[in-house]
Amino acid sequence: MSESVTEPYSQPEPPEPVLAAAAERGADWALIPPDVAAEPPSELRYRPVMHLAGSIGALVRSRAIVRSLTFRDLRSTYSQEVLGIAWALLGPVTLMVVFTFLEGRLGGGIDTQGVWYPVFAYVGILPWTFFANSVSGGGTSLVGNPLLNKVYAPREVFPIAKILSATVTLLCATVALAILFIIDGRLPSVTSYWVVPLLAILLVFAFGITLLISGLTVYLRDMRHAIPLLLQLGLFLTPIIYGMDEIDEPWQNVYVAVNPVAGVIDGMRRCLLYNQAPNLVFTAIAATAALVWALGAFLVFKRLETGFADVS
């Protein structure tokens, strides 16, 4: 009875085109059949599914983390400093002094409708300072953050903590506004209650812009250098030194739609200084634009979120 001999398996020699490609790309390519695709088909790729309601619910459940991060940021910013929280006043007050000097050099050419210019300017400086602090702090909050892989929470908690820290700074800076009212011998108008919805619009808009910039900065590191330049440009394009009356009337609605901070500042001046209700058209446009920015930025942020831990 003859025994069957099993010949050892030998892999066939790759075709010449494959061997030629292996010489150019590396030896590992020599054993890859030419009909193997370089990447999986699009229908088999992993795509994270985002549920808006679930994402908002997860954010609400992480409110304790947001609170802890906010306190941590405030302590790291103002602890072990000689002036401490007084730095929250020095920035806006310095801007007010500079703008008052420039207005004096212009011969008082800015129409404030009888309001003392330092008060007029400071009412515009406060919302812008909050917005600028939120964007500058929150925009870079994810880059190089050691807590990004250590804290199990939605990644937006880090920009939101910076926004809340800027809110505390805003509240401290209002002390100087009260002092200016006393020096000027005036009281806030009875329509000052409009400040609450106006600040809500400002908060929503700051949330949207900060969230969008923080997500983009993780992938586009040049944004860290662009943020200060854009904020400096926005300082002069926003009606802080001047009023909305300096903008041509046909373009005012477009101006507020592009920059809702302008509508907020105009409304705050009307309700605090002129005993008027905010311009309802400006307020509606600013509120709509702020909501669109916030919703759109949140959706983009959640799409980009999956790669934050690997890239940052």
Residues 117 and 239 in one domain: yes
Residues 6+ apart with CB under 8 A from 277: 191, 194, 270, 271
CB 286 within 8 A of CB 260: yes
Over the Cα atoms of the chain, what is R_g? 28
Which stretches of the chain drop beneath a pLDDT of 50? Answer: 1-2, 9-11, 14, 27, 29-30
Residue 95 phi, psi (nearest 5): -60, -40
Q: Does 174 share its domain with 25? A: no
The 3-state DSSP class for residue 38 equals coil
Of 190, 206, 62, 72, the closest CA to residue 132 belongs to: 206
Is 61 inside any structural domain?
no
Q: What is the pLDDT of residue 1?
A: 46
pTM above 0.75, yes or no: yes
Distance CA 307, CA 288 (A): 30
Please tell me whether residues 38 and 149 are part of one structural domain: no
Residue spans of alpha helices (H) in the chain: 16-25, 52-61, 63-78, 87-105, 117-139, 157-184, 195-219, 223-237, 252-258, 260-273, 280-304, 308-311
For the chain, the residue count is 312
State the total domains in the chain.
Answer: 2
Q: Which domain holds residue 39?
A: 10-45
Residues 106 and 247 placed together within one structural domain of the fold? yes
Residues 81 and 36 in one domain: no
Instruction: Write down the pLDDT at residue 125.
Output: 93
Q: Does residue 158 share a domain with residue 35?
A: no
Q: What is the pLDDT of residue 40?
A: 60
Q: What is the largest CA-CA distance in the chain?
A: 121
Shared-domain flag, residues 255 and 140: yes
Q: Is residue 55 part of a domain?
A: no
Residue 223 lies in a domain: yes
> Which distant-in-sequence residues (6+ apart) come within 8 Å of 5 by Cβ?
none
> How many CB atoms are closer than 10 A to CB 196?
9
Q: Is the same domain home to 37 and 77?
A: no
